Structure 1
Amino acid sequence: MEQSDSDIVFQSYGRCCNNEEFFKDFYDRFMGSSADIRNLFANTDMKAQRHLLRNGIMQLVLYSRGMSDTKLRALGKSHDRTGYNIRPEWYRLWLDALIATLRQHDSAFSPEIEAAWNRAITPGIDIIRQAY
């Protein structure tokens, strides 16, 4: 039986998220992608931020598995122009950093797993981005 994208992503994330270095490497990569993004995190408690990231990615994964979009809509609200002011074009950099970090940390990573991640979480990212 063929696995769904959400199953593939759930398992891939499971292989990565128990390693705190995954989240550290993600932020090193993400902040390295743009001075604007680096500046967003200038006065941030990164340990707390990594915890939020862990939960945020899980919300995207759970949405791909059929869960309600309520938490993603709340994330969109907090990240909109009146909240953290996360510009819509930055989500591509976020996804690129995530995929590169998954490639580094998921021992089973493959082009198929990368494609599954893109298909599974892009709809959830779009919900967050469209709140802007």
Structure 2
Amino acid sequence: MEPTDTDRVFQSYGRCCKNELFFIDFYDRFMGSSPEIRAVFVDTDMKQQRHLLRNGIMQLILHARGMPDTKLRALGQSHSRSGYNIRPDMYGLWLDALLATVHRHDPEYSDELAAAWRCVLQPGIELIRGAY
């Protein structure tokens, strides 16, 4: 039996999480992608933010595996224009930075795995983005 995309992404994320530098590298890359993104994090406790990211990515994967969308809806509300005001166009930069970081940290990375990551995360990202 072939592993599903969600299984492959879950396993890939597990490999990435073995090294705390994964989350540091992600934010270096993400904040380097745009002055507007960098400005969002000016007064942020980055240690706490990395913890939130770790959980947020897991929530996206679990949603793709069938978990109810309650936590992602709450995340969407907190990131909406009435919350942190994370504009919908910023999520593309977020996903690109994430996949570049996965490429660096997952020794089993491939273009096929990157496509699986996009496929698995996109529905949850759209749910969050839609709350804007």
Q: Sort the TM-score into its range (normalised by shorter chain).
A: over 0.9
- Matched residue SS, 2:108: coil
Q: CA RMSD in A?
A: 0.5
Question: Hey, what's the Cα distance between the residues in 1 that align with 2:123 and 2:33?
Answer: 23
Deviation at 1:44, TM superposition (A): 0.6
- Matched residue SS, 1:42: coil
* 1:67 counterpart letter in structure 2: M
Unpaired segments ≥5 residues, structure 2: none
Aligned length: 132
Give the alignment's TM-score, normalised by structure 2.
0.99
Unpaired segments ≥5 residues, structure 1: none
Partner of residue 8, structure 2: 8
Give the alignment's TM-score, normalised by structure 1.
0.99
Deviation at 1:2, TM superposition (A): 1.2
Question: Hey, what's the Cα distance between the residues in 1 that align with 2:90 and 2:78?
Answer: 15
CA deviation map 1:6-55 (0-9, x unaligned): 00000000000121100000000000000000011011100000000000
2:121 is the alignment partner of 1:121: yes
Partner of residue 111, structure 2: 111
* 2:33 counterpart letter in structure 1: S
Question: Hey, what's the Cα distance between the residues in 1 that align with 2:80 and 2:90?
Answer: 12
Question: Hey, what's the Cα distance between the residues in 1 that align with 2:5 and 2:60?
Answer: 12
* 1:77 counterpart letter in structure 2: Q
Deviation at 1:87, TM superposition (A): 0.2
2:14 is the alignment partner of 1:19: no
Question: Hey, what's the Cα distance between the residues in 2 that align with 1:34 and 1:13?
Answer: 25
- Matched residue SS, 1:114: helix
Q: 4+ residue runs of structure 1 moved beyond 4 angstroms? A: none
Deviation at 1:112, TM superposition (A): 1.1
